[in-house]
Amino acid sequence: MKSKEDELLDGQDEATKQNSPWFQAFLLNSTQLSQQISHSQLQQISPTALAYLGDAIYELYVRMFFLMPLQRPETYHRLVVAQVRAETQALHLRSLIPHLRDSELEIVRRGRNAATGRPKRVNPEIYQHATSLETLIGYLYLTDYQRLTELLQIIHLEK
């Protein structure tokens, strides 16, 4: 006999993921937030702080992306960790480079230069690229949420 969780997991497909109300909620416009932060206030935020914010936004995006189809907690964890590790973030940044505007490339450069410390297990260049992606995500979250969603949709999250 199947548990209720197993019954919920049956019949879920990849299309369900994109139509999930949770996933769609993440993609909603955040113009109220960007209207609350002035240009001068934004200039005062360090690339490190933008990366800190971008890290949280990116992880939330990944978690919501994998929320559907329903999975066991261990599966969620495995899928999310594979996407938020520095090596994967560096690959995602490389895939986005051809799509970035000059102003976004400047944010990426600032993020790369701000990446000073690093975990022992990660190559410094990979860590710099991952921090650059997080900085870009943090910056766009505060300034141009529509552009952020465009770029996040270019990234191919994989199981």
Q: Please, what is the average pLDDT of the chain?
A: 81
Please state the pTM of the whole predicted model.
0.77
Tell me, what CATH number does 71's domain have?
A: 1.10.1520.10
Which stretches of 20-123 are DSSP H helices?
A: 21-26, 31-36, 39-44, 47-65, 73-84, 86-96, 102-114
Catalytic residue at 55?
A: yes
DSSP 91-104: HHHHHHGGG--HHH
Number of domains forming the structure of the chain: 1
Who wins on pLDDT, 36 or 106?
Answer: 106
* Lowest mean pLDDT segment, chosen from 5-9, 59-63, 94-98, 151-155: 5-9
Q: What is the pLDDT of residue 6?
A: 47
Residue 149 domain boundaries: 49-159
pLDDT digits (tens, 9 = 90+) for 33-59: 555 677 788 888 999 999 999 999 999
- Which pair of tokens denotes residue 115? 């990446």
Q: Evaluate whether residue 156 is within a structural domain.
A: yes
Q: Evaluate whether residue 10 is within a structural domain.
A: no
Q: Which of 10, 55, 102, 144 is catalytic?
A: 55
